[in-house]
Structure 1
């Protein structure tokens, strides 16, 4: 199964997320992984309302993942170099990163694409 890991700043919109997903080659994908800390964010609720399946990834899982790209803010807040990459990799068994994080045009969201070993 393919899944898009998503990171976003406060004030990001669905358009921001969709743009990041398109740039990551994940346009049309309906499975997303986000930090559990953002599970109740209005943007996540809006994505769910639009039919996206969302998997929340716990902070401790994010902090265990070494990512190919590094963001100073991601390291400070989540303990990992890229929230999007860590979410994508933590979302399923035997996950492998297909596309490293990309940033939306408005710089409000990031997306990374992974393939899990899950059949769902």
Structure 2
């Protein structure tokens, strides 16, 4: 199964997004939070991201969803350090995580299909 990692500058936000995605989208999906800096403050940590990728990976790949610029940079460094096949989805973090969880829970999900589902969330409108 394709795993998911949610990278946020806030540990609470990462955990909350994972909870929402799991409860509303895909309770079968493997979703790991990687939020906050090592001291519990605002920021991101390459080590936390790498650990979350390792926890989410069962061999089918991992899709990473990020909130802000340095989360992308640290996710890219973590990807280079590990052995898993990882892609970063260019998607809004909450809506993308929800879409990705729904897709990843399906029996025919692939790394490409999970990324595509996450990225479809870029087009969602909340108001007309």
- TM-score under structure 2 length normalisation: 0.33
Flag the structure with higher strand content.
1
- TM-score under structure 1 length normalisation: 0.34
Flag the structure with higher helix content.
2
Q: Which one has the largest radius of gyration?
A: 2
